[in-house]
């Protein structure tokens, strides 16, 4: 391994100290890393790997993350916030006019706020739009897309290849199908100069698209996935499963997966993946080999 993507929903699990320790450890290991930093600008930055066959850039971000994990910029006397490079997105739920009326009535009976708009309404942090067929639409945040695309354009002028990678759990229906905003964003990154786009996060394989001659891997699943080697877990993990102070990591795993009868251990899709090996000649994709792994 030569390069790693740092932006994911666990980047901030152990606070700023944990993020900084991870930075220290990956740098001591000699790995090129992107997607996290002391400020939003640093987290957004492209990082570069020098190889005998050319210079490779990596740009990393996540759409799946708790709010406190996102990096922020300094402003006036306020210092920057360390964290990950975020790709935010908006969601609209399409409902029929009758469904919207019934939703408003239910919320009114429960004394919960419902705000009507010209084309729908909003409640419980969700936007609703009236349409003929119920559904869900998602769009990437325009400001984030603009910022990240600028980084990719710059990197494409400084490197022979640009790898853009996102941690995205979000889906459209089954877990194997990415959300609409991920597809829109991936294509925008290729338009900006990405040689290849790689998604990860859902723990399963998703589709592959060749867009403008460049490969988009919406998810390559897991190459290595193991929880069993952890030595410690936060108290909240144990409390979630009503485990006492004398319980240990193995007890937590047994409770979480019901003694390996549910969840990750028994989901076959989790344990099937591929190693993708694209070949580029003069910047053009000429071959894409997929090697199955389990």
Per-residue pLDDT of the chain (294 residues; tens, 9 = 90+): 999 999 999 999 999 999 999 999 999 999 999 999 999 999 999 999 999 999 999 999 999 999 999 999 999 999 999 999 999 999 999 999 999 999 999 999 999 999 999 999 999 999 999 999 999 999 999 999 999 999 999 999 999 999 999 999 999 999 999 999 999 999 999 999 999 999 999 999 999 999 999 999 999 999 998 888 889 999 999 999 999 999 999 999 999 999 999 999 999 999 999 999 999 999 899 999 999 998
Number of H helices, E strands in the chain: 7, 17
User: How far apart are the C-alpha atoms of 131 and 154, rounded to whole Å?
Assistant: 40
What's the pLDDT score for residue 68?
Answer: 96
Per CATH, which fold does 3-87+141-221+272-293 belong to? Purple Acid Phosphatase; chain A, domain 2 (3.60.21)
What's the pLDDT score for residue 226?
Answer: 86
Instruction: State the number of CA atoms in the 13 A half-sphere of 19 facing the CB.
Output: 26
Contacts 24+ apart (CB under 8 A), 67-74: 68/12, 69/9, 69/11, 69/12, 70/40, 71/36, 71/37, 71/38, 71/39, 71/40, 71/42, 71/43, 71/44, 72/39, 72/40, 73/39, 73/40, 73/41, 74/39
Reduced to 3 states (helix: H, G, I; strand: E, B; else coil), residue 272 is coil
Q: What residue ranges do the domains of the chain occupy?
A: 3-87+141-221+272-293, 90-137
């Amino acid at each position: 391994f030569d390069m790693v993507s740092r932006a994911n929903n666990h980047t901030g699990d152990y606070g700023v100290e944990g993020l900084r320790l991870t930075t220290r450890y990956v740098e001591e290991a000699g790995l090129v890393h992107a997607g996290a930093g002391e400020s939003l600008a640093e987290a957004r930055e492209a990082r570069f790997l020098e190889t005998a066959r050319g210079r490779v850039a990596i740009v990393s971000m996540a759409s799946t993350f708790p709010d406190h994990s996102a990096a922020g910029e300094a402003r006036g006397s306020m210092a920057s916030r360390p964290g990950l490079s975020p790709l935010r997105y908006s969601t609209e739920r399409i409902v029929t006019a009758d469904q919207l009326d019934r939703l408003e009535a239910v919320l009114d009976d429960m004394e919960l706020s419902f705000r009507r708009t010209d084309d729908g309404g909003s409640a419980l942090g969700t936007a609703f739009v009236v349409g003929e067929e119920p559904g869900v639409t998602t769009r990437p945040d325009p400001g984030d897309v603009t910022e990240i695309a600028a980084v990719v354009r710059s990197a494409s002028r400084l490197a022979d290849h640009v790898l853009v990678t996102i941690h995205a759990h979000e889906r459209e229906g089954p877990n194997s199908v990415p959300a609409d905003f991920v597809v829109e964003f991936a294509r925008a990154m290729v338009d900006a100069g990405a040689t290849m786009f790689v998604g990860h996060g859902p723990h399963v394989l998703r589709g592959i698209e060749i867009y403008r001659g460049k490969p988009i891997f919406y998810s390559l699943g897991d190459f290595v996935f193991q929880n069993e080697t952890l030595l410690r877990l936060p108290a909240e993990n144990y409390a979630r499963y009503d485990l006492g102070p004398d319980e240990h990591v193995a007890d937590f795993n047994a409770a979480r997966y019901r003694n390996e009868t549910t969840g990750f251990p028994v989901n076959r899709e989790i344990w099937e993946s591929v190693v993708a090996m694209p070949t580029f000649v003069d910047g053009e994709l000429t071959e894409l080999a997929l090697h199955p792994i389990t």
